[in-house]
């Protein structure tokens, strides 16, 4: 997963200059302050990157371990927990 700083760096490489305006009134290059603020806003709003297969596998293993720890703490089996919750 990329850090905010990495996202900002990539956006700056892809967009070395930014402009505001329209075809009717013309375009003006953003000031350095406006540029930095815009890049930061874009970086914060980028959609999350898809998880790798390894990250997904680790998450599933962590969830399974947490589930087993909770069942052990409660002193019940998975089937008993399912019955308590009204599942099949």
Interval 1-6 mean pLDDT: 90
Is residue 36 domain-shared with residue 58, that is, in the same domain? no
Same domain, 40 and 65: no
CB 66 within 8 A of CB 26: no
Q: Provide the domain limits for residue 33.
A: 4-45
Are 29 and 62 contained in the same domain? no
| Same domain as 41, residue 61 | no
- The reply to whether 35 and 63 lie within a common domain is no
Q: pTM of this prediction?
A: 0.58
pLDDT band at 1 (very low <50, low <70, confident <90, very high): confident
In the chain, how many domains are there?
Answer: 2
List Cβ neighbours of 56 (8 Å cut-off, separation of 6 or more).
none
Q: 88 vs 57, which has greater pLDDT?
A: 57
Q: What is the pLDDT of residue 88?
A: 64
The total of other beta-carbon atoms located within 10 Å of residue 10's CB is 14
On the question of pLDDT at 9 being above 90, the answer is yes
Q: What is the pLDDT of residue 40?
A: 97
pLDDT digits (tens, 9 = 90+) for 18-74: 999 999 999 999 999 999 999 999 999 999 889 999 999 999 999 999 999 999 999
Which residues, 6+ apart, have CB-to-CB distance to 2 below 8 Å? 10, 49
């Amino acid at each position: 997963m990329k850090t905010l700083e990495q996202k900002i760096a990539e956006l700056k490489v892809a967009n070395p200059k930014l402009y505001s305006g329209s075809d009717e009134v013309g375009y003006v290059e953003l000031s350095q302050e406006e540029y930095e603020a815009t890049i930061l806003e874009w970086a914060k709003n980028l959609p999350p990157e898809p998880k790798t297969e390894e990250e997904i596998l680790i998450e599933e293993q962590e969830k399974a371990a947490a589930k087993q720890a909770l069942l052990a703490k409660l002193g019940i089996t998975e089937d008993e927990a399912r019955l308590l919750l009204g599942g099949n």
